[in-house]
Structure 1
C-alpha cells in the first residue's frame, strides 16, 4: 500500500504530552489548520482548559487523561479517539520527562520512570497506532532529540532514552515499509527548545537548570511535526545547532567529546542555587505553559529545518558544508 497522507483539515490527530511545551504548541497549530484533536497527558485540569480554548476558537478537540508509561492508558487514548471520531490519522508521541544528574547519582527508581515515559510510552503509542493504521494509512511521529545522536553529560540517561527512541523508530519504519503498511514513520529531533523542560526536570544538581544554546521556539518544532503529518519524512532535525552537533559527532567524535567534556555541563546549569527539587517525573507538573524561562536569545525560526523539510537540494548543500566544517575542525584539533 502506498503512503498517502491527508491534509490537516481532514485529519484526526492524537498528541501525547499535550498540556505544555511542544505538545501544546502542536495542538494549537494543528487546531488552526482544522485538524480534529485527541489530546493526552496526566494533567486533567490543564487539558480541560486547552480543549475549552480550542473549541472557543472554532476548533475540535477532546482530551484523555493518561500516563503513557502504562500500556492500558495508551490503549484508552486510541479507544477514545475511535469512539469519538471513528479513526485517527496521525499519532504524535510527544510525552517525555527529564533528569539532570550524573549517572552514578541518579536512583534506579528515577531512571526506570524515565524509561517508562520516554521509551515505553513511545513503544506503546507507536504499536497501538500502527495496528489501527495498517491498510488504512497514516503517520506516526515520534519525538527524539539532538541527543538521539549525541550523548551529553548531566543528561546521560535522558540521552540514553532518546537513543532508544531513535533505534525503535528506525526499526518500526523498516518493518512497516517491509509490510507495505502505508504508514509514514518520522523521528523529530529537536535541539534545545524554549519549553518548561528544565523546570519540569528532576534536578540532582544544586543549581537552577537551563539549556545549552542555541535555543529555538517550540512553534518551530510544531511546524516540523505538522509537516511530517502531511509529508513522508524519515526524520527532521529542528535547529541548525543540533545538526552541527550531530555531524560533528559523526565525523569528528573525539572533537564532540572534547566539547562536551569542557563546555556542556556548564551550559546546562545557571549560576543560581536550585529553588526547588520538585519535578514532573513521577506526577503531573505545573502545565499549561508553552514557553519556558530561558534567559538567552530564542530563535523563532530555523533556516536549516525549513530548508531540510521544504527544499532538499538546499539541505544537501547545508549538510555538505557542515560536514566539511566538522572535518576541518577535527584536523585542526589533531
Structure 2
C-alpha cells in the first residue's frame, strides 16, 4: 500500500468521536494539523469537542448522526465535502457492547448492536469509498482483538467484530481488483481504557470491567493516524492482542476452556450493575478515558515498534524464516 498525504494536509472523518478512541483520535489528528469531521449521536458532547479543538487553533466540524442509518452517514460525507472540499481518511470507530449470555439478551438488543457495530462500519465504508475513489484515500475500520477471539458475556460484540473483519478483507480485495486507490486497514485493539464498559447494556449482576492488560486510547489513535498516512492491512494494538490471537490459533480447544476465567475477569466485585447503557440513548460523553479499576499500561512497545517500517520488516523476515523452517521439517507425529 502506498503512502498517503501527510496528516497536516488531510481531511479526516471520525465516527464515534464523542468519547474514547474516537475522541482521542480526533484530538490528536487536529493537533497534527488535520481538518477533522466529528460524528456521533451525542450533539452536546460533539459541540464541546469541536469547541475545544478550535480553541487550540485546530479545524473541526461536527455532525449528529446514527451510523446505522445510511441517510445519516451520507450527511457526514456531505458535511465533510461542504466544509473542507473532500475526504482523505475515514475512520469507522463507532461501537457498543452488551454484557450478558447470548440466551439472556433480547433479540432487539442483539439487532441494535449489530446495526451500530457492523452495519455502521458497512455503511461508513461504502459511503467513504464512493467519496474517495476518484482522488484516493484511506479507510480505517476499528474492530477489536475480538475479531480473532471470542469472549463469554460479549457474544454478539465478538460476532460483530468477526463480521467487520470479513467485510473489510473482502472490500480490500475488491478495491485492489478494481484498481481503486483506497486502502483498507483493520485495527485490532486489546482492552482499552475507554468508557465502553459504562456505555454497555448489562445483563450480568455486576458492573463490567475490561480484562487486563489494559492500554490507553492514545495507543489506538497512534495506530489509526499511522494507517491514515502509511496504510497497513491490519494493526494489533497491544502486544497482548497479538499474543492472545496467536495462542487461540495454536490451541483453540485450550482457549475455549478459559471461558470461566475470562468471564470472571470482566466483572467488578465492588460495584453493582448499571443495566441501561447507551445502546438506545446516549449517555454523558466527552471523556476519552474510562475508570478501569486496575493498572493501565502507559504504552505498547509492540504496537509502537510495529508502526515503523524497519522493525516490521525485520519481524516479517523472522516470521517467514521460522515458517520456512517448520515447512522444511515437515509434520511431526
TM surpasses 0.5: yes
Seen in structure 2, the aligned counterparts of structure 1 residues 278 and 308 have a Cα distance that, compared at 3 Å, is: same
Match of 2:265 in 1: 267
Q: Which moved more, 1:250-259 or 1:311-320?
A: 311-320
Say whether the 8 Å CA contact 2:18–2:286 is kept in structure 1. Answer: yes
Q: How does 1:1-334 map to 2 (within 5 A)?
A: 3-259=2-258, 261-310=259-308, 311-316=311-316
Seen in structure 2, the aligned counterparts of structure 1 residues 88 and 170 have a Cα distance that, compared at 3 Å, is: same
Say whether the 8 Å CA contact 1:42–1:67 is kept in structure 2. Answer: yes
Q: CA deviation at 1:254?
A: 1.2
Q: CA deviation at 1:152?
A: 0.9
Distance 2:322 2:198 in 1: 32
* TM-score of the aligned structures, taking structure 2 as reference length: 0.93
Q: CA deviation at 1:320?
A: 8.5
Say whether the 8 Å CA contact 2:188–2:235 is kept in structure 1. Answer: yes
Seen in structure 2, the aligned counterparts of structure 1 residues 151 and 298 have a Cα distance that, compared at 3 Å, is: same
Question: Secondary structure, in 3 states, of the residue corresponding to 2:18?
Answer: coil
Question: Secondary structure, in 3 states, of the residue corresponding to 1:291?
Answer: coil
Moved over 4 A (4+): 317-323
Q: CA deviation at 1:274?
A: 2.2
1:65-115 per-position Cα deviation (integer Å, ceiling 9, x unaligned) = 000011110000001111111101000000001100001001000000000
Say whether the 8 Å CA contact 2:202–2:273 is kept in structure 1. Answer: no
Say whether the 8 Å CA contact 2:185–2:233 is kept in structure 1. Answer: yes
Q: CA deviation at 1:322?
A: 12
Q: Which moved more, 1:276-285 or 1:152-161?
A: 276-285
* TM-score of the aligned structures, taking structure 1 as reference length: 0.93
Structure 2, unpaired ranges of 5+: 324-333
Say whether the 8 Å CA contact 1:152–1:159 is kept in structure 2. Answer: yes
Question: Secondary structure, in 3 states, of the residue corresponding to 1:272?
Answer: coil
Question: Secondary structure, in 3 states, of the residue corresponding to 2:307?
Answer: helix
Distance 2:318 2:111 in 1: 38
Question: Secondary structure, in 3 states, of the residue corresponding to 2:287?
Answer: coil
Say whether the 8 Å CA contact 2:204–2:273 is kept in structure 1. Answer: no
1:207-226 per-position Cα deviation (integer Å, ceiling 9, x unaligned) = 01101100000000000000
Distance 1:293 1:57 in 2: 27
Q: CA deviation at 1:306?
A: 1.5
Q: CA deviation at 1:318?
A: 8.4
Q: What is the number of equivalent residue pairs in this alignment?
A: 321
